[in-house]
A and B are shown apart, each in its own frame.
Chain A
Amino acid sequence: MTGDLPPRTGKPIQLESVTRRWGETTAVDGLSIHIPEGSFTALLGPSGCGKSTTLRMIAGLENVSEGRVLIGGEDVTGRPSSKRDLSMVFQSYALFPHLSVAENIIFGLKVRRVGRADRDARLARVAGLLGLSTLLERKPGQLSGGQQQRVALGRAIIGEKPICLMDEPLSNLDAKLRHEMRVEIRALQQQLGFTMVYVTHDQVEAITMADQVVLLNEGRLEQAAAPRELYEKPASPFAARFVGTPPMNLFPARAFGRLANAAEHQLGIRPEAMHLQDGGPVTASVRALEYLGADILADCVVGGTAFQVRLPTTKPVVPGQSIDLGFESGALHVFDGQTGRRRDDLVSEYGAQLRS
């Protein structure tokens, strides 16, 4: 990645209780988020959670039923896409099949009647930056998936817009290329300094690339936080299970004999946060083992609840065996049985009871 596009500053985006309805169905329900300028924000969630709709509302490709969209402090809710000063990369890339790579990239500049000299200079810079210099005369149909992806990126960054939106841009690439592009897109965003809103259903993508992850579920905001906070302090059982592989184990509090009198809260412990400990607070029986090379994933049962634990390969266990497990006090999560929200106030109490 060489080249020297001038760094520029992004614009912040603010969604104020934005709602999108189609007849009876509500795709996005009262969503309020703040996307700081120059940040990389990932909209994460399972398919059908409204993340693409949210992105399209920011882009102006979808009408907002209720609420406001602000870009750089200005209300743009009623403005067409062309007046919002942003660029977008589509999942299918949406390259114009009849135009060459060069024409695809400078499409927007031509529409805005940027002078020929300026256009050519910018094209050369962007093509150099993305390694497309030798492909400029080709048609999109003659390019590989990764190259098409780069052309789409080129078209998005050549306009030097303060905001770039991406809708699952890597989902059509193979695993190796996806990793490369992940690094490249992140580097590009940091180098050019624009505000990035990135839609993905892949939690690894979101966690590795973003400054802020906005987790959506059924059109509602589940949690908006930095990746580390999302992983370490998930706000709800949904967030806890959506981020991290394998997902966090959730137990009804009463699954543990020592908490038989506790309220109907849910306890969560990540598989990688548990370790073998003689006389530890959790006594479980092993059901099945999955050998992963670096470690072993064990399916266990405690008090009728199945869960998974990551064990080192050095201490062999066998199915049917009973094992004692321990965990650090900070690794326990408590979620309210009624509201589903996080209850940090109960963590130390429950932790102490489990250990007693």
Chain B
Amino acid sequence: MRGLVFRREWITGWLLLLPALVFLFAFTHIPAVTTILNSFFSTPRGRRQAKFIGLDNYERMIGDPVFWKVLWNNLWFALGTIPVSVALAIVMALWVNEKLLGRSFVRMAYFTPTVLPLIAVANIWLFFYTPGFGLFDQITGFLFGWPATNYLGDPDTALNAIIVVTVWKEAGFFMIFYLAALQSIPVNLKEAAQIEGAGRWTIFRRITFPLLMPTTLFVCVNAVINSFRLVDHIFILTDGGPDNASALLLFYIYEVAFRFWETAYGATLTVALLILLSLLAISQFFFFDRKVHYK
């Protein structure tokens, strides 16, 4: 009897878990495992079956100059976007946390880029960057008399132009987290520091910023993942060019797998991306762990 009841509870438990499990396996776990398996096989073509080729795909990846190029681009992209967008987010959050006229309007304005679809955003920025009559050329031409510049068509500036769009898109999103964290810091702490003679900068450096550390960790992990994940705007703005100057790792994976249909090599690159991301996430937690004070 007891066994039967136990059994029935057990079945109910599994039934409750089932819907979530099905979707998790169908869209996350099985594809992940398949990807890893595929990276050890050749790409099936027509009637030719995929056959096991061991580490050949990985050897190819190491010898692939485009892979190293996009990896380098991605590193530069991460270094360009993460610190700037996090710093901007803190500054904006501090500002809209003050008592100022039209505060909720300013907050909304900062958050708007997050709500807009990246594809739409990219199209707006495409206009800003247009050589000759785009917004930037109009301004620099009017103010400094600079000639028309093709920011997106020049290998030296294409990636930077994309970094600017990403920072603009991300800073407002991170600001919301900082704003929430700032509002959970008791005003008393700031007042106590003021009475002890601390100025605004000291209060920020010694009190506010350390208390924001858990948020900073969260935001940084997200920013790192985003720097490998956000590629939508590249399709609109540069399509990876010129000469892969603005291609990122995920963009390259998409190109290899779904434009050139080299699915096995695409799987190999994906495994590399996954390993890279997990290493980054783990090391971030270790790096921050000592510096974060949780309440």
Complex Cα distance, B198 from A87, in Å, reads 12
Verify if A121 is at the interface (C-beta below 8 Å from B).
no
Inter-subunit contact A159/B191 (CB<8 Å): no
A-B residue pairs in contact (CB < 8 Å), sample of 20: A59-B191, A59-B195, A61-B191, A61-B195, A81-B191, A82-B199, A87-B195, A88-B192, A88-B195, A90-B188, A94-B189, A94-B192, A96-B193, A96-B207, A98-B210, A108-B198, A111-B196, A139-B293, A155-B192, A155-B196
Inter-subunit contact B195/A86 (CB<8 Å): yes
Besides A61-B191, A82-B194, A111-B193, 15 new A-B residue pairs in contact (Cβ under 8 A), listed by A number: A59-B191, A61-B194, A87-B195, A88-B191, A90-B188, A94-B186, A94-B191, A96-B207, A98-B210, A107-B196, A107-B206, A108-B197, A155-B192, A155-B196, A159-B196
Inter-subunit contact A92/B293 (CB<8 Å): no
Verify if A131 is at the interface (C-beta below 8 Å from B).
no
Complex Cα distance, B3 from A90, in Å, reads 60
B195's partner among A82, A92, A139, A141 (CB-CB below 8 A) is A82
Complex Cα distance, B198 from A265, in Å, reads 54
Verify if A112 is at the interface (C-beta below 8 Å from B).
yes
Interface size on B, residues (CB 8 A): 20
B194's partner among A81, A96, A139 (CB-CB below 8 A) is A81
Verify if A304 is at the interface (C-beta below 8 Å from B).
no
* Chain A interface category by residue count: 20 to 34
Interface-centre pick from B195, B198, B202, B206 (highest chain A CB count, 10 A): B195
- Interface SS majority for chain B: helix
State the Cβ distance, A237 to closest chain B Cβ, in Å. Answer: 36
State the Cβ distance, B207 to closest chain A Cβ, in Å. Answer: 6
Q: Which residue of A lies closest to B291 (CB)?
A: A98
Complex Cα distance, B281 from A188, in Å, reads 52
B197's partner among A82, A96, A98 (CB-CB below 8 A) is A82
Inter-subunit contact A107/B211 (CB<8 Å): no
Interface-centre pick from B192, B193, B206, B213 (highest chain A CB count, 10 A): B192
Q: Which residue of B lies closest to A97 (CB)?
A: B295
Q: Which residue of A lies closest to B202 (CB)?
A: A111
Q: Which residues of B contact A107 (CB under 8 A)?
A: 193, 196, 198, 206
Q: Which residues of B contact A87 (CB under 8 A)?
A: 195-196
- Please report A residues at the B interface, Cβ cutoff 8 Å: 59, 61, 80-82, 86-88, 90, 92, 94, 96-98, 107-108, 111-112, 139, 141, 155, 159
State the Cβ distance, A273 to closest chain B Cβ, in Å. Answer: 43
Chain B, range 143-197, C-beta contacts under 8 Å to A: 186, 188-189, 191-197
Q: Which residues of A contact B195 (CB under 8 A)?
A: 59, 61, 81-82, 86-88
State the Cβ distance, B202 to closest chain A Cβ, in Å. Answer: 6
> Interface digits, B234-266 against A, CB 8 Å rule (1 contact, 0 not)?
000000000000000000000000000000000
Inter-subunit contact B194/A80 (CB<8 Å): yes
Inter-subunit contact B295/A108 (CB<8 Å): no
State the Cβ distance, B282 to closest chain A Cβ, in Å. Answer: 24
